[in-house]
Structures are given as structure tokens and as C-alpha cells.
Amino acid sequence: MSSANQHNTIFLTPEEDERMRKTLKGRLQKCQVLAGQPRVPGDPNSRLNQVATASLLSDIAAAPDPWLKAQNGQPDAIVAFVVGYPYPPCTVLLQDLQPMDLSDLRMDTHHRGRVLTVRRVTPVVKLVAFSWTVVQEESSGEMERLEVLLHKSKHGEDILETGSIFVVKEPYFTLNDQGEPTLRIDHPSDLVCTDFLRADSSDFSTKEVGDSQSAFSATTPTALTAKTAREYKEDGNAALKQQALLLAHANYTQGLQLVTKDSAVKEELACDLFRNRAHINLVLNRLDEAKADALASLTGLEDQKHKELDSKAYFRAGCAAHNLGDFQEAKRFFEEHQKLTPGDKHAAALLRKTESRLKEQASGMYDFKKIKVSLAMGRPRVDAASFTLNTKVGESPGHGRGLFATRDMAFGEIILCEKPFCVIWGSEDEALTAMTYDGRDDKIRVFPAGLCKAVVQKLLDNPSQVEKVMDLYGDYSGIGKQIIMEDSGPVIDTFQVYDIVARNAFGPGPVYTGRNDGGEDEGVRKASAGLWIIASYINHSCIPNAKKEYMGDLMVLRATRPISAGEEITHSYDKSSDYDARNAALMKTWGFTCTCALCIAEKADGPALRKKRYELESEANALVERDEAARAKRLSILKARRLDQSINSTYDDKIYNGLPRMALLKIQKWLAEATTR
């Protein structure tokens, strides 16, 4: 993520970093020692009691963490978790997996090719970074702990709470961060709930935890009475009225399975179910299915009633296409919508909006005033299209892929305007900044965990988007970018998303109603972060030719000097003027050492000269901070001039010919202001 959010808001002293690393690393080391050893069954009652007392235990995520301090010196709560060693999700179909028992489990082992069926027997303990519960195997009555990491909820509902009978694909049995043995779910597709419509999970809240029998009976699913497709539709409508969106979706889906099996009743009822599910899907942002459902619901009948229903379907398909950024298709659907209900003013307005997006996409001309008005009205996600025609992705020798100019561009010209694939603002409930310990390089990082969760959710809901996101750069390539579909949706490798977010996310800064260059967020736990796909291909240079700013969630990239067609576009991932700090940050966050002309020159200066320059620059910066340029006294100006000269003398004119002298930037700006007033 951009330096503004990665390094400036949280400070760890070397001792704090070491202590945290030791604790988090401890689990990975214990796991290595225990790997392959048979599981030792725990005492069932103590497991159940653990749940009851869980709320009393200190959740590392819930309590103010003495390890970390916010910038203002106040302790702030922050989540810390171990990323561990990446492993791929199960890609084998359920029917091809061999059943196993809890007694077959081995410590710190991925049980490839196997599947475990368990029943949840306690309420779910919901913490910030994970949820856990106790599950029981029916045949033996044995119990075990089951934990879902980070991606623990679906549209706001905790996955473990959506049912009681779970199938764990290729179970991973390991130790959790507190050293307890647990079944651990990292990839949402590795956990399948088989009784979503049957289990009434609210039962748990009324039962005493601690008595295994009562807890067990609480989960017994009520016998499934055979419902008709029409009844599923009615139940779906009732669930929708109560805003139980996932339940409504499940009911319509069940209904559709019945009608598609029984073609005699298909027509009218199937169309209703598809149309209703399209609405739910739109609300849930499941845009691929919303569009497909809306189109499947079309009757094509000519009477007024059916024309209105089909118009509604086209409206839903148009909204889905618009929100997916497919404006050409959205235009087509809104035109059909308008044809069927010509007097509908709403339809005409939607069509005009889509036409504006198509113009932006083709020309890069935006009505920035209008965008500012919409921001002022509190809408941080602006309705705008991406403009990418000035750029193309290509190979950048030594830097992987990069973004290149397709035509000459003048200073200040817009190179790229891009809407994000996903952005989470610091002010939103989903925002979550975490400290992660990565076993692969033994480093602690500040990580936009809320963004990572949102990206995974969006991909699970919209398979059409998987390839372009999974093609982004990350050290761990996981299952690759080709989509693997299962009955319940695409398989998403969460470790792959973690790496992609870590290496490609930017911090757009707090939302405000004008140009924003990605400045500081307030607070530690909730920094804004987003993923812009095309901008993710832009490599770093300390002497860049482009600068990004944000209008809400629209990234606007402008040329900071003339750019020729074919030239690589670069921006600065870290603007620190201190060579050592800049390269340490580039290595920690982005995994590379910069070899641009400026870095080569500064490196060649050697540590002693860099130290001297840094000390002079710090003195100059202190003066800039202390004395306002507009009111500067003669003495300050004299001192500033002396510092300017001293810093300048640390640069060799021949070596730095044509290169920026970074340590001079602030003091020279101050001097220019102080002497021209």
C-alpha cells in the first residue's frame, strides 16, 4: 500500500517489533515441531466451557494493544494475526473426496483428498479477525474446535452461523495463534454449509452452553418438509420483506431447482423466481448472477403485464451491467427497458447516465465539477467510467510488467482515470487495518485486511472478475488466474488475494470533497485502501513522470512532465527524500530495491555523505516547520540560505546533472515563498 498509510500511522520500536514477531512466530515454530503427529482428542466439556467463557478471554483484537501506539501517542486497538505459510484451496469436487474421521487428523497437516463432516454444537464466538465454534462428529461424538480466519462472513452474516452441518474439504488441522489445536479454514470454499435453509441457528442463544447433550440437540435440524417451488417463492418473498437477503436468495434458488426439474410448471413461476432473485443479487452486489437472472426471467410476452415485468428485468440487467462497468451492454438493456415502458422517466435518466459513462470511457473528458458536487453530497464512490486508452500493459525489463504510453502526452495531461475494483473508506464499517506476521519473510506489516476481505467477497460473488484480479502481481501465484468453478461459486485462493492486496493496494486517504493526493487517514485501525487494476501495473521510480490524485474513488493520473508514446509510465511508491529510508520501505512493502538513476547516484555517495546530508536536511526541515515562510524574519532567511548552500554542497554537480536534489526540495520551496512575499 502507499507509504502514506503503511508507514506513517503506526510506529513500532525495534523492541516492540521483535516482541510481536517472537509471539506470532512462536505458533509457526510449534506447528513445525508437531507436524504429522496424531491429534490428541480434547475433553468435550472443557471445549464447550471454553466457548462459554470466550467472551471473558481477552481477544487480542478487542483490547487496546500495548504493543502499538497510534501517531498521537494514544494506545489504539489493532488486530494482529499470522498469515502463515500459503497453501492452495481444495479444487477437488466434493463427490471425489474420501470421507475421514476426526480421529484420522494429524497435527499441522493438510489432509489432501479427504473430507470431514461435522455438526456445530455451540454458539459461534465472533472476534475481529476470526470466528470459532465447537463441532462434533456424529459417528463418534468426538468434538473439535473449528476456526474461520478473516473471511469469516458472507454479506455481513457469520459463515459459521449460517447453518449447523458443515463439510470441511481437505481439512487443515493446526494450532491457532493461542496455541490451541483447531481445524482452520483460510479459504471460504473449503467450508460448505449443507443445511442453510434447515438450521435455525438462533436456537443456540437460548440454550445453556456446557451441557453437550442440550447443545447437540439444539442443532438437530428440523425435518425438511417437502416444499413446492411456489412455497419457496413465497418464503423467499417473506425473507426479503425482513431483509434476510441470504435466506431469500437460498429460497429462490431452491425454488428454481424444482421448477427447472419440472418443466411443466416452469414458465411463469421460473420467470418470477429468476426476476426476484435478480433483485436480491443486485442488492448483494452479486452482479454476474443478477444480470443472468434478469435475462433468464424475460417472458417476451406482448400483454401489458408481461411487458412491465420484462421492463423491470431489463432495468435489473442494466443496473448489473452498469455496476460491472460494462456500459455498452448497460445501454442496450436500458434501451430495451425504455422501449417496453416508454413513459418511464427513470429509464430515460438511466440511459443518459450510461451514455455519459461511454463518453468518458472514449474521451477521458470528465465533468469534474459534477463529480465534486456528488462528493459534497457524501457519495465517495463516484459514478464515472474508467479512461485507459492512453495506456497499455507491456513488459518492463527487470521490473515485470509495466504500463506504457500509447501516445505523446503533455505536462499536466490526464494519463489515466480509473475507478477501483474495490475501495474501503476508513469511515466504513468494513475498514480494518491489521498487523500481520508473514512467516515467509519473518516480517510484520500493516495490512488493509478490510480491503482483502472485501476483494475476496466480491470475487466469490462475481466470477467474471476473477481473472483480471488474479492476474495482478503477487509473490505467491496460488491456483493462478484461471477460474475454477464449483457448485457454490468460484474457488478463491485467499493467500493469493492477500499477496495481491499487499503488493498493489493504494491508500486514497480520507474522503473529502476535492482533489486528494492520498494523504493521511486519521487513526490506526481504519485507513482507507483500494485496488485499482490498471494502475496496479504502474512501476515505481524515484524520478517519476506521473502523479496520482483522487476524486472520491476515481484515481486521476497526470503527467508531471511531457511523455512520449511508448515510454513507461511510473509513479513514486515512496516519496521519502532519505535514500536509506526509501529503499528500506520499498523492500519491506514491495519487495524490491530501486535502481533508478537517482538511487544509483545516492547509493554511490556512500553512507557518510548521506548521513551528513540527512542531518542538514533535518535541520532545514525543522526551520521550515518552526518559522512560517510568510512571516519569516531576516535571520531565519539567512539561516535557510546557509542550510540550502550546505545541503547543495553535498551534491556533486556532474553526478547530479539532471537529477532532483531531494534534500533541497522543502527548504527551497520555503525560501521561494519567504523571499517573494
Ligand X SMILES: C[S@@+](CC[C@H](N)C(=O)[O-])C[C@H]1O[C@@H](n2cnc3c(N)ncnc32)[C@H](O)[C@@H]1O
d(CA 430, CA 466) in angstroms, rounded, equals: 21
Count of positions on this chain that bind ligand X (CB under 6 A)? 16
d(CA 142, CA 235) in angstroms, rounded, equals: 36
| Span interacting with ligand X, options 55-63, 313-321, 397-405, 550-558, rule CB under 6 A | 397-405
Nearer to ligand X, 441 or 615 (CB): 441
d(CA 248, CA 104) in angstroms, rounded, equals: 38
d(CA 584, CA 578) in angstroms, rounded, equals: 10
In the bound complex, what is the minimum distance in angstroms from residue 593's beta carbon to ligand X?
7
Binding residues among 402-421 for ligand X as defined by CB under 6 A: 402
d(CA 587, CA 398) in angstroms, rounded, equals: 15
3-state secondary structure of 465: helix
In the bound complex, what is the minimum distance in angstroms from residue 527's beta carbon to ligand X?
18
Nearer to ligand X, 167 or 584 (CB): 584
3-state secondary structure of 91: coil
| Span interacting with ligand X, options 176-184, 220-228, 338-346, 536-544, rule CB under 6 A | 536-544
Cα separation of the two ends of the chain: 38
Identified binder of ligand X from the candidate list 540, 548, 582, 613, rule CB under 6 A? 540
DSSP 8-state symbol, 589: I
DSSP 8-state symbol, 220: P
d(CA 578, CA 593) in angstroms, rounded, equals: 14
Is there binding between residue 399 and ligand X (CB under 6 A)? yes
3-state secondary structure of 570: strand
Binding residues among 573-592 for ligand X as defined by CB under 6 A: 590-592
d(CA 584, CA 563) in angstroms, rounded, equals: 29
Query: What cell was used for 354?
Result: 450510461
In the bound complex, what is the minimum distance in angstroms from residue 664's beta carbon to ligand X?
23
d(CA 624, CA 662) in angstroms, rounded, equals: 15
Identified binder of ligand X from the candidate list 85, 87, 473, 656, rule CB under 6 A? 473
Nearer to ligand X, 274 or 537 (CB): 537
User: Binding mask 486-505 vs ligand X (x if CB under 6 A, - otherwise)?
Assistant: -----------------xx-
| Span interacting with ligand X, options 142-150, 259-267, 531-539, 553-561, rule CB under 6 A | 531-539
d(CA 295, CA 278) in angstroms, rounded, equals: 9
Is there binding between residue 391 and ligand X (CB under 6 A)? no
Identified binder of ligand X from the candidate list 50, 536, 545, 572, rule CB under 6 A? 536
Query: What cell was used for 664?
Result: 533541497
Binding residues among 42-61 for ligand X as defined by CB under 6 A: none
Is there binding between residue 445 and ligand X (CB under 6 A)? no
Is there binding between residue 401 and ligand X (CB under 6 A)? yes
Nearer to ligand X, 164 or 583 (CB): 583
In the bound complex, what is the minimum distance in angstroms from residue 599's beta carbon to ligand X?
9
In the bound complex, what is the minimum distance in angstroms from residue 398's beta carbon to ligand X?
6
In the bound complex, what is the minimum distance in angstroms from residue 402's beta carbon to ligand X?
6
What residue is closest to ligand X based on CB? 400
Between β-strands 98-99 and 114-120, what pairing exists: parallel, antiparallel or unpaired? Answer: parallel
Query: What cell was used for 423?
Result: 475501495
d(CA 405, CA 229) in angstroms, rounded, equals: 55
In the bound complex, what is the minimum distance in angstroms from residue 598's beta carbon to ligand X?
11
Asked whether the beta carbons of 162 and 154 are under 8 A apart, the reply is yes
Long-range pairs for 156-161 at CB < 8 Å and ≥24 separation?
157/246, 158/124, 158/126, 158/131, 159/131, 159/188, 159/191, 159/193, 160/120, 160/124, 160/131, 160/132, 160/133, 161/124, 161/201
| Span interacting with ligand X, options 159-167, 336-344, 532-540, 620-628, rule CB under 6 A | 532-540
Nearer to ligand X, 182 or 504 (CB): 504
Q: At what angle do helices 287-296 and 266-283 cross, to 10 degrees?
A: 160
d(CA 397, CA 182) in angstroms, rounded, equals: 45
Identified binder of ligand X from the candidate list 38, 400, 566, 607, rule CB under 6 A? 400
| Span interacting with ligand X, options 1-9, 258-266, 316-324, 398-406, rule CB under 6 A | 398-406
In the bound complex, what is the minimum distance in angstroms from residue 434's beta carbon to ligand X?
20
Nearer to ligand X, 255 or 402 (CB): 402
Nearer to ligand X, 87 or 473 (CB): 473
Identified binder of ligand X from the candidate list 182, 354, 539, 650, rule CB under 6 A? 539
| Span interacting with ligand X, options 8-16, 257-265, 393-401, 452-460, rule CB under 6 A | 393-401
| Span interacting with ligand X, options 19-27, 63-71, 268-276, 537-545, rule CB under 6 A | 537-545
| Span interacting with ligand X, options 310-318, 325-333, 396-404, 423-431, rule CB under 6 A | 396-404
d(CA 466, CA 421) in angstroms, rounded, equals: 11
Q: How many CA atoms lie within 13 A of 495 on its CB side?
A: 20
Query: What cell was used for 222?
Result: 428440523
Q: Give the residue among 474, 495, 419, 406 at the shortest CA–CA distance from 151.
A: 495
In the bound complex, what is the minimum distance in angstroms from residue 567's beta carbon to ligand X?
15
d(CA 247, CA 193) in angstroms, rounded, equals: 13
User: Binding mask 590-609 vs ligand X (x if CB under 6 A, - otherwise)?
Assistant: xxx-x---------------
Is there binding between residue 537 and ligand X (CB under 6 A)? yes
User: Binding mask 617-656 vs ligand X (x if CB under 6 A, - otherwise)?
Assistant: ----------------------------------------
CA distances from 360 to 145, 347, 383, 557 (A): 53, 20, 11, 15
- The residues binding ligand X (CB under 6 A) are 399-402, 473, 503-504, 536-537, 539-541, 590-592, 594
